[in-house]
Amino acid sequence: MRSWLALIALALSFAIGRSARGDEAAAGRVRVTYWEKWTGMEKAAMEAVVQDFNRSQSRIWVEYQAVSVYQQKTLIATAGGDPPDVAGLLAADIADFADKNALIPLDDFMRGTELRRERYLPTFWDMGVHRGHTWAVVSVPIVVALHWNKDLFEKAGLDPERPPRTIAELDAFGQKLDRFQDGKLVALGFYPADTNWWPYGWSFWFGGRLWDGGANITIDAPENVRAFSWFQSYARRYEVAELQNFSNEANFDSAQNSFLSGRLAMVLQGVWMGNFIQKYRPDMRWGAAPFPSEKAGAAPVTIADADMLVIPNGARHPREAFEFIEYLSRQGPMEKACLGQKKTSPLREVSAAFFREHKNPYIRMFQDLASSPGAMAQPRISVWNEYTLEIRNASQRLWLGEATPEQALADVEAVIQKSWDREQRRQSAPASPWLSRLPFFLIALAAGAIAFAVVRERRVQARVTGVAQPVRSNASLWKGLGFFSPWGVGLGLFLAYPVMSSVVYSFCDYSVLSPPRWVGLQNYADLLDDEVFWIALKNTLIYAALALPFGLLVALWFAILLDAKLRGSSLYRTLLFLPALMPIVAGAIIWLWMLNGEFGVVNHFLSELSFGAFPKISWLAERSYALPALVVVSTWGVGQTVVTLLAAMQDVPSSIYEAADIDGASFWQKIRHVTLPMISPVVYFNAVIGIIGALQVFATPYIMTAGGPARATLFYTQRLYENAFYFLRMGYACAMAWILFLVVLGLTLLAHRIGQSRVHYTGV
Amino acid sequence: MAAADSPFSSTFRRRPWTRGIVHLLLIAGSLMFAFPVLWMISTSLKPLREALTSPPVWIPSTIQWQNYVATIEYIPFLRYTINTVVVCTLATLGTTLSSALVAFSFTRLEWPGRNLLFGLTLATMMVPFPVVMVPLYGVYRELGWVGSLKPLWVPTFFGSAFSIFLLRQFFLRIPKSLPEAMSLDGASELRIFRQLYLPLSKAPLAVVAFFQLMYSWNDLLGPILYLTDQSTYTLTLGLQAYRSQQGGTEWHYLMAASVMTTLPIVVVFFLVQRAFFQGVSSLQNVEG
């Protein structure tokens, strides 16, 4: 016993000792909070600069806080009136946030300081400019280029030092680099969709633009159609299933990355690719050059993106926040941050030391690209988030051959043009003051309705039983309310106001960052007209129809087996319950690996068990398999249901089974006529919980497929979340929520109706 | 052990070899379920380059226990664990107590409006969280709770719809005659609750407590929204730290951290599961 205690004490002290310590003294200084999305290496790089700033003066203390889901959190905090002083956003967020008055303009602060447009590369500076004001400053930039494997070039008879310079050359080189073995594709020259991180970017190399800067969405322009036709040509030339084996969406950061493992010869990637090559294949000879354009002799083009720093509206210390931003803009700190993150610098002037110390051998090329006029930023249009998702969906549809480029782009144009028109028409009309009082009015109304219903029920009761108040004391209203009160109070405090608010919002145009505007039933009307809404609803209903019965059956199956009370049952129970205990993120990631087409364990087993007959299926990349695969993953977490069912089964008195045995009942008859009826209240419970859960499914599919491929696994709550937090259409999202509520209510009432006849309560 | 403890009892007596079949089915099932977890453990002990390979690596070439050490150093692991334990203990206590009280009000007591309010309780589970998230944040902000652990456990002292529903289903299986007898003897409702319902419901109460523990332990959304100070972070929030964007995710550390995060709950489950499943022997003596 003693030795165990000593061991535990040792382990604890070890853990305490090694555990990282936070918190340093910041007494007497103004505390500036800085929320940033980075973790790991990027975080370390920026934190070093933060610490330099803190050391360089004694008035301000900047505290870096790594924030997950940074966008949602910054949004809510800003809307709630207590945002951080400095926030790290992406360039794509700026237009939206600025339009909704969520940011403090930096123009006044900038006067007379070193933070000037002239010191920055124009492309990156302009990412923070919107409608004539500067709202954000780039912190760390990103550019992309073609990367190629020189060894593979040599083996295919190509000059390893000469990358393709036009799209036509890219295609030709690519075909030369393809290698087949026994009719199967084992090495690929180029694959535009290997990560599909910039589905909108291909247009840039074809001279296309996505927006004319004014009222028109130009996704369907001829240059863009050419770009997406070229994109689709790859899906046409090869088998989509074969190409999937080269996809890096799930395994980008691993030795299995198709480029890193030498199976893919050329990729479009960012300046960070050098890090990964260094990490997994330091022996690879590789090159990087501007990605080829359609026309020969065209100036080099790249996709430019950046992380930006902003001062949210409502920040407590905007002056001090700006001082930090200004500090970062100086060449020393900026280069330190960019060097630490292994990216290019957004400044015009770059020191020789920067190039010398940078680990990426092609940093000069990247820096030149960033400075060139060919550095294309994303359109600074406030509907950009929605635009990107539509383009991504279109590219997935093209890839699966479900549409022609003209059709797919026309569809995108229709949706986004409508959104953009609506956005532009949206006046900055003042919010009606009565809106903020409406939720309380509704709460009073609801409470009144409940009270009325209660009084009516009492009157009915009195009429039926013939007495004004029943003799038995347990029918007292006060006693009932007394026991009910914890929940009632909680309801009132934490649920009534948020729920009623969301009802009000569903009739409003509400962007979270600006006050809501009443629009009546417009949201609901728009929803009925919204194609994506119907897709999401359909997918969710199909998912629920599959997952619920399947899950219940599997749970019942195991509960019955465990009820046999064999030796070792406690071990089996634990193993079956284990998946439900795991953090959702870890579980989703593991399944993502396991379902991978090329190296996933599931395919490995299926192939072994069938002696190679079973083909390697890319479960999550094919429309017909993705949703069923997610149903299976959800069943994996069914342990909770097993536990409740088993607990109920153990309660069944053995005398009933004895009686059944005497009557000569078979095993299945006992299950049907004894076990199931006796546990029916708990089955009913699990059915209702299951309905609610299945219709609200979100986290796991979101992590695994993000709604793909081509919205085959886009579920309702994900779309709701997108509307609320990406497109900043909270009112619209609330309308979606209440429609879902009605659907769930309907199905639950249905379950209740079935339950009335089938559920058997022994107590009542 | 009674003569007919389960539907299998007579079958096992007559054909003992059927025991073997059930064992086989259970082994196959549990292995399939546990497999991804075993994979997680295996990966947590691998060097990074073996994390994602084809064909998959089952047993790491070198067992890297140091992954676990590195994982603890990466983030303030102990601090986060303490925070998580505090939140979970309070939340579990709160939910179990309050939900039992409320479920009692829906079961034993007959009062006007009972069924309506029960329906309302159920209905609250049907409201998707993303839409109440923003106004709810506003409520917490007015109360001054944002930035502290309070939003994660104080609301549980007012009951949780899920637990109330579950307990009500179990409470309804207690035959009416028992509380009625007590009431005729002059017992107050509170006494009936304390002396009859609570003891008879040890199993479902343990289930409710454990589910709340599990939920609070693995809750990610709550901590993300309401915690701002790193010293208040919980373990699930800490797990996010292992995922970098362009520097690459440390898969082996992430898996090691996931193992360490899951382990305490697994141990608790193993210890308390007997309480879930022992059934209510006194119910067996009551013939309804």
How confident is the model at residue A310, as a pLDDT? 96
How confident is the model at residue A256, as a pLDDT? 78
Residue B182 has pLDDT above 60, yes or no: yes
Q: Which one of B155, B162, B230 has the shortest CB-CB distance to A22?
A: B230
Residue A477 has pLDDT above 50, yes or no: yes
Cβ neighbours of A40 in B, within 8 Å: 241-245, 247-250
How confident is the model at residue B248, as a pLDDT? 56
Cα A309 to Cα A84: distance, rounded to the nearest angstrom: 11
| A12-16, A428-432, B229-233, range with the lowest pLDDT | A12-16
- Window A:668-707, CB contacts with B under 8 Å: 670-671, 674-675, 681-682, 684-685, 688-689, 692, 696, 699
* Nearest Cα to Cα of residue A106 among A305, A307, A383, A323: A323
Residue A716 has pLDDT above 60, yes or no: yes
Mean pLDDT of all residues in A571-597: 85
Cα B45 to Cα B40: distance, rounded to the nearest angstrom: 9
Mean pLDDT of all residues in A5-28: 49
Query: To which residue do tokens 């396991």 refer?
Result: A594
Q: Is A756 on the interface with B (CB under 8 A)?
A: no
**Res. A21 pLDDT band, cuts 50 70 90:** very low
Q: State how far the alpha carbon of B229 is from the alpha carbons of A24, A249, A577, in Å.
A: 13, 33, 33
Residue A1 has pLDDT above 50, yes or no: no
How confident is the model at residue A20, as a pLDDT? 36
Q: Which one of B107, B169, B239 has the shortest CB-CB distance to A585?
A: B239
A105-155 pLDDT per residue, tens: 999 999 989 899 999 999 999 999 999 999 999 999 999 999 999 999 999
Mean pLDDT of all residues in A621-635: 92
Residue A112 — left, alpha, or beta (φ > 0 → left; ψ -120 to 50 → alpha)? Answer: left
Helix (H) / strand (E) element for A129: namely strand A129-130
Mean pLDDT of all residues in A93-105: 90
State the burial class of residue B18 (Cβ atoms within 10 Å of its Cβ: 0-12, 13-18, 19+).
middle
How confident is the model at residue B61, as a pLDDT? 78
**Res. A23 pLDDT band, cuts 50 70 90:** very low
* Nearest Cα to Cα of residue B99 among B176, B168, B172: B168
Residue A319 has pLDDT above 90, yes or no: yes
Question: Mean pLDDT, chain A, as a whole number?
Answer: 87
Residue B282 has pLDDT above 50, yes or no: no
How confident is the model at residue B43, as a pLDDT? 83
Residue A215 has pLDDT above 60, yes or no: yes
Query: To which residue do tokens 């930006």 refer?
Result: A308
Residue A473 has pLDDT above 60, yes or no: no
ipTM over 0.85: no
Residue A680 has pLDDT above 60, yes or no: yes
User: Does B102 contact A484 at a Cβ distance shorter than 8 Å?
Assistant: yes
B16-52 pLDDT per residue, tens: 888 888 999 999 999 989 988 888 888 888 887 676 6
Q: 0.90 exceeded by the pTM?
A: no
**Res. A31 pLDDT band, cuts 50 70 90:** very high
Position with higher pLDDT, A708 vs B25: B25
How confident is the model at residue A7, as a pLDDT? 54
Q: Residue B190: closest CA among chain A residues belongs to which residue?
A: A483
Q: Is A21 on the interface with B (CB under 8 A)?
A: yes
**Among the ranges B50-54, B118-122, B147-151, B169-173, which has the highest mean pLDDT value?**
B147-151
Annotate A2-31 with b (16+ C-beta within 10 A) or e (fewer).
eeeeeeeeeeeeeeeeebeeeeeeeeeebe
**Res. A19 pLDDT band, cuts 50 70 90:** very low
Identify the three-state secondary structure at position B61: coil
